[in-house]
Amino acid sequence: MTDGFDYDVIIVGSGFGGSPTALRLVEKGYSVLMLEKGSELGPDQFPKSNWNLRRWMWAPWLGARGLFKMTFFRHVTVLSGVGVGGGSLVYACTHPVPNDSFFHTGSWAGLAEWKEELAPYYERVKGMLGVNATPMLTPPDRILKAIAEDRGQPDAFHSTDVAVYFGDAGKQVDDPYFGGEGPPRTGCIRCGGCMLGCRHGAKNTLDKNYLWLARKLGLTLHADTEVTAIRPLPDGGYRVEAKHGRHPLFRKRRVITAKQVVLAGGVLGTVELLAKMKRDPLGLPQLSERLGSAIRTNSESLIGVVTPRRDVDYSKGVAIGSIYEIDEHSHLEPVRYPAGSGAFRAMLAPHVAGENGLVRLLRMAGTVVRHPLRFLRTLFVRDLAKQSAILLYMRTADGTLEFVRRWWGGLGSRREAGPAPTASIPQATELAHAFGDKMGGTPFSLVTETALNIPTTAHILGGCCMGRDRSTGVIDAEHRVFGYEGLYVIDGSAISSNPGVNPSLTIAALAERAASRFPDKPGRARAPFLPVES
């Protein structure tokens, strides 16, 4: 008990916002409790392929408590991570810094000198996550390099910076990052399994750095605990209500109090919880009307190129080993899953262009009719992961959605401003066909994209954006929720502009900055953990 509360701070969520915040606050002397609705998974609990749906998928009502979640909305399908370590468990561990436009647009523009302020935190996060350049080129990378050269842009292609310990493949060493304070690491064996949860100890997920160090300093972490309500207390602080347990029918209710609460559950967690509390007279009814607004994706297009040829294995490497920066606003990355991972096969349809749904369906049918044997040979390849490359196209187009709470309790989407997200992006289609020509393959997309033009994103952002006051944002430039002292949002929902690239580095850098604003507790603070210079 501290000052009449159970904890100084409760952090809801253990991803790229929550984990850096947790470490820095326990270093400052705060008693911190972290609540994570997902499970704590070890390497032997990660699936070997995504056919192991019980270990891979998050569907607790069906007894599946894996690390990967798909959420379907009217305007977008969202891919996200669940578990201790949040999205770091399933992300492709690439860490680019956004282009300059990101720092000067959106509702946060002018609230701070963002590029200058975040620069040292970007570098700190890279060190904490062991970010380094991918040291090899694999077959998909070479194809991408050739496409960049064909288009007269050889310098626009380069290897990615990834949070992976390469070392000697398969060899375990003592902690190479924090002077022995961290866990042992094992050299990457290039198995391609980054997005299924690394089974070999090479991927630098948050449980191997920020969370590991925070727990050594006293962080209390409760997994399998979903927060259901946050209510202000009459004399300050908050009462947090949660349910603990692995199956929704057999969970126990818990109530914990804290002086301050940090929401770090990502867009799907934080926005849904706050939308629920805004409707509750005893909850947080004074939240800004901007809650749920300015939801962004990276305007992605995900296209799989599948080849019937078996002479090249496209599954070996890290999840994303290279990037082609087409222009200031557009990027293309080849993505992979490990050998044997073909669970998406049942959701594939031929990739076709066109904004009109009827046109896309006719083109899809035409593709099958004109080339039936080619279609069947490609769709039923022996090993989808070995015989395919996933192309992730991203751009900074700034259309936004709004997430609203439906009468049954879940979130729904509706268009807000600018162009709606679309799965039909001509440049992405052109590049996919160019890739297919060099690979001897055929472009495919998820059926939701081909039939319904609903794009898929792994980078859902916004909904609790920054503003000058509650009429323009949900939080201020220090991540404080307008109208509720001691309540913070530090996660992807706070992102107030379109980065156009993988956002994990930016979320963590913002968390480092936000945590630095908390004062030290007198007599209890210690020097921050920082990576040892190699």
pLDDT of residue 161: 97
pLDDT of residue 371: 72
The residue with tokens 């984990």 is 19
Higher pLDDT, 518 or 354: 518
Domains with residue ranges and CATH for the chain: 7-516 (3.50.50.60)
Higher pLDDT, 355 or 138: 138
For residue range 202-256, list pLDDT tens digits in order. Answer: 999 999 999 999 999 999 999 999 999 999 999 999 999 999 999 988 999 999 9
Contact 195, 344 (CB under 8 A): no
Per-residue pLDDT band for 352 (boundaries 50, 70, 90) equals confident
Going by DSSP bridges, is the β-strand pair 32-35/7-12 parallel, antiparallel, or unpaired? parallel
Residue by residue, DSSP assigns 445-486 as: EEHHHHHH---EES--B-SS-B-SSTTT-SB-TTSBBTT-TT
- Of the residues 95, 200, 351, 459, only one is catalytic, namely 459
**What is the distance between the alpha carbons of residues 348 and 451, in angstroms, rounded to a whole number?**
10
Q: Report how far Cα 227 is from the mean position of its chain's Cα atoms.
A: 20
Q: Is the pLDDT of residue 534 over 60?
A: no
Estimate the crossing angle of helix 139-150 against helix 426-439, to 10 degrees: 120
**What is the distance between the alpha carbons of residues 128 and 205, in angstroms, rounded to a whole number?**
10
Higher pLDDT, 289 or 399: 289
pLDDT of residue 493: 98
For residue range 310-320, list pLDDT tens digits in order. Answer: 999 999 999 99
**What is the distance between the alpha carbons of residues 182 and 530, in angstroms, rounded to a whole number?**
11
Residue 302: its H or E element: strand 301-306
Q: Is the pLDDT of residue 89 over 90?
A: yes
pLDDT of residue 398: 65
The CA distances from residue 66 to 291, 293, 297, 432, 443, in Å, are 29, 30, 24, 31, 29
Per-residue pLDDT band for 356 (boundaries 50, 70, 90) equals low
For residue range 395-426, list pLDDT tens digits in order. Answer: 887 678 999 988 887 899 999 888 777 878 88
The chain-wide mean pLDDT, for the chain, equals 93
**What is the distance between the alpha carbons of residues 303 and 351, in angstroms, rounded to a whole number?**
7
Per-residue pLDDT band for 52 (boundaries 50, 70, 90) equals very high
Of 4, 20, 10, which Cα lies nearest the Cα of 491? 20
**What is the distance between the alpha carbons of residues 229 and 255, in angstroms, rounded to a whole number?**
9
Which residues, in sequence order, are CB contacts of 267 under 8 Å at separation 6+? Answer: 78, 295, 403, 460, 461, 462, 463, 491, 492, 493
DSSP 3-state assignment of 401? strand
Which residues, in sequence order, are CB contacts of 151 under 8 Å at separation 6+? Answer: none
Buried b (16+ CB within 10 A) or exposed e, 331-342: bbbbbbbbbbbb
Amino acid in the structure at residue 261: V
Least confident of 33-47, 161-175, 398-412: 398-412
**Token reading at 401:** 């959605």
pLDDT of residue 451: 79
**What is the distance between the alpha carbons of residues 61 and 320, in angstroms, rounded to a whole number?**
32
pLDDT of residue 345: 85
For residue range 93-115, list pLDDT tens digits in order. Answer: 999 999 999 999 999 999 999 99
Q: Is the pLDDT of residue 129 over 90?
A: yes
Higher pLDDT, 475 or 450: 475
Q: Is the pLDDT of residue 48 over 90?
A: yes
329 is catalytic: no
Per-residue pLDDT band for 7 (boundaries 50, 70, 90) equals very high
Q: What percent of the chain has pLDDT over 70?
A: 99
Phi–psi pair at 5, nearest 5 degrees: -110, 160
Contact 442, 350 (CB under 8 A): yes
Give CA torsion, residues 319, 398, 17, 337, to 10 deg: -10
pLDDT of residue 353: 76
**What is the distance between the alpha carbons of residues 126 and 266, in angstroms, rounded to a whole number?**
21
The CA distances from residue 58 to 42, 109, 243, in Å, are 16, 36, 17
Per-residue pLDDT band for 41 (boundaries 50, 70, 90) equals very high
Number of Cα atoms under 13 Å in the Cβ half of residue 482: 21
